[in-house]
């Protein structure tokens, strides 16, 4: 039987790796995060790793191992899972044109955009709308973003390029709501988070108070930033989910070891192989491009980054799972923390 140890802290900064059980790279990873939080560079972080029979769950700085963070784009594969749960029931087909479900998304090349294109970043839709900042400043509801996404010009002919597109995920979420007659946050709770044993995960802030969650390190001089009531409650399907590191690991496990709970086993397996039909690989909602995560990850590794300073990945070849949630935006922490920790975990 594989030896397995559970190492978890119960308070911020608690937890350790014994050198007898997981010496070397994981110690180095923890030391790197500890230096970042001790210096004040990063306010809070939580690391969950499962590798070679050892499980590490630890909080750093102002976070405990179970502290809830704003996940940002790790939300995207959650939204895609909701779409494919409906596909499993025969209520949505990934090969259908989007206009079948969203009649207002029509005309020109929009007519050839399929659900597959939305789920693989090949639709031609932009990442953000041209008036994205104005929408957020006026606390626009999601329906206003949907209306804009249905009218915005496509950047290229659908299916010919891979270009990251949060607005494609938004329209995929709108399909879920119209087909299921449920708000996406309610659908995810019932059909994805509850079956996977993720009670502390929600789209939007859910039952939590913002003060009880990790606070993103962003300026507080406006009322629409990542820590605002508006953004935390909006439930953006491309970046508005909240969770803790152990539960994000459970979500990864649903694809690493499919159990048929949120989606069928074969559907889960299909989500972590190239579905873009292009050389630039994307699964259904998951990043797949080799080299995206740890340097020693296998070519079958899948995962996602989040702009709030988060990363989650799993390597089917080694069975390694890694979740690092931080409060320092990814454009400031990916090179110095998210990437190096992933490199150490994959070593």
Helix (H, G, I), strand (E, B) or coil at 57: strand
In terms of Cα–Cα distance, which of 168, 203, 171, 163 is closest to 78?
A: 203
Q: Give the bridge partners for 49, in sequence order.
A: 56, 322
Q: What does the alpha-carbon distance between residue 276 and residue 124 come to, in Å, rounded to a whole number? A: 13
In what side-by-side order are the strands of the sheet with 202-203?
A: 69-70, 241-243, 202-203
Instruction: Kindly list the structural domains of the chain, giving each domain's residue range(s) and its CATH number in brackets, ordered by start.
Output: 5-67+291-346 (3.30.450), 70-240 (3.40.710.10)
**Per-residue 3-state assignment (H helix, E strand, C coil) for 94-142:** CCCEHHHCCCCCCCHHHHHCEHHHHHCCCCCCCCCCCCHHHHHHCCCCH
Give every CB contact of residue 208 below 8 A, 6+ residues apart in sequence: 68, 202, 242
The confidence band for 266, taking pLDDT boundaries of 50, 70 and 90, is: very high
pLDDT digits (tens, 9 = 90+) for 139-154: 999 999 999 999 999 9
Mean pLDDT of 258-269: 97
CB 61 within 8 A of CB 44: yes
In order of 21, 32, 65, 173, 212, the CA distances from 57 in angstroms are 14, 15, 6, 31, 19
**pLDDT confidence tier of residue 2, bands split at 50, 70 and 90:** very low
Q: Give dist(CA 66, CA 45) in Å, integer.
A: 10
**Mean per-residue pLDDT for 159-182?**
98
- Tell whether the model's pLDDT for residue 8 goes beyond 90: no
304-312 mean pLDDT: 98
Q: Per-residue pLDDT for 15 more than 70?
A: no
For residues 213-237, give the mean pLDDT: 97
| Average pLDDT score, the chain | 94
Q: Other C-beta atoms within 10 Å of 8: how many? A: 17
Provide the pLDDT confidence category of residue 18 given band limits of 50, 70 and 90: very low
For the stretch 318-341, pLDDT in tens is 999 999 999 999 999 999 999 999
Query: Is a pLDDT exceeding 90 seen at residue 307?
Result: yes
Task: Enter the tokens of residue 6.
Answer: 């559970």
pLDDT digits (tens, 9 = 90+) for 73-127: 999 999 999 999 999 999 999 999 999 999 999 999 999 999 999 999 999 999 9
334-to-66, 229, 314, 339 alpha-carbon distances in Å: 22, 26, 17, 5
pLDDT the model gives residue 23: 53
Q: Which two tokens stand for residue 129?
A: 């709308």
pLDDT value at residue 273:
98
Mean pLDDT within 293-309: 98
CA angle, 80 as apex, 145 and 136 as ends, to 5°? 20
Question: Measured between alpha carbons, how far is 256 from 124 in angstroms, rounded to an integer?
Answer: 30
Mean pLDDT of the 30-45 span: 98
Say whether pLDDT at 68 is over 70.
yes
Residue 9 has pLDDT above 70, yes or no: no
What's the pLDDT at 229? 97
Q: Is the dihedral of CA 184, 189, 191, 193 positive or negative?
A: positive
Is the pLDDT at 1 greater than 90? The verdict is: no
Rg (CA), the chain: 19
Give the integer Cα–Cα distance in Å for 140 and 305: 25
With a cut of 70, say whether residue 3 has pLDDT above it.
Answer: no
């Amino acid at each position: 039987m594989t030896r397995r140890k559970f190492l978890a802290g119960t308070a911020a900064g608690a937890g350790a790796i014994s050198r007898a059980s997981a010496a070397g790279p994981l110690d180095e990873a923890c030391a790197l995060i500890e230096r970042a939080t001790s210096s004040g560079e990063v306010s809070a972080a939580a690391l969950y790793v499962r590798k070679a029979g050892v499980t590490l769950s630890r909080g750093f700085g102002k976070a405990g191992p179970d502290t809830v963070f704003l996940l940002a784009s790790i939300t995207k594969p959650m939204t895609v899972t909701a779409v494919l749960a409906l596909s499993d029931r025969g209520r949505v087909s990934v090969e259908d044109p989007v206009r079948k479900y969203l009649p207002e998304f029509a005309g020109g090349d929009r007519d050839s955009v399929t659900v597959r294109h939305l789920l693989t970043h090949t639709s031609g839709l932009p990442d953000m709308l041209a008036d994205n900042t104005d929408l957020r400043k006026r606390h626009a509801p999601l329906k206003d973003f949907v209306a804009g996404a249905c009218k915005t010009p496509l950047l290229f002919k659908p299916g010919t390029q891979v270009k990251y597109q949060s607005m494609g995920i938004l329209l995929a979420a709108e399909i879920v709501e119209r087909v299921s007659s449920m708000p996406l946050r309610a659908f995810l709770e019932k059909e994805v988070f509850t079956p996977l044993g993720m009670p502390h995960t929600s789209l939007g802030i859910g039952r939590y108070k913002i003060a009880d969650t990790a606070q993103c390190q962003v300026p507080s001089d406006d009322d629409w930033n990542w820590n605002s009531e508006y953004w935390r409650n909006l439930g953006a399907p491309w970046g508005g989910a909240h969770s803790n590191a152990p539960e994000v690991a459970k979500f990864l496990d649903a694809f690493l070891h499919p159990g048929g709970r949120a989606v069928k086993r074969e559907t889960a397996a299909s989500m972590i192989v190239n579905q873009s039909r292009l050389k630039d690989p994307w699964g259904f909602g998951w990043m797949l491009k080799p080299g995206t995560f740890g340097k020693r990850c296998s070519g079958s590794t899948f995962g996602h980054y989040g702009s709030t300073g988060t990363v989650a990945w799993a390597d089917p070849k080694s069975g390694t799972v890694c979740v690092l949630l931080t409060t320092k935006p990814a454009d400031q922490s990916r090179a110095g923390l998210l990437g190096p920790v992933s490199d150490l975990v994959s070593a």
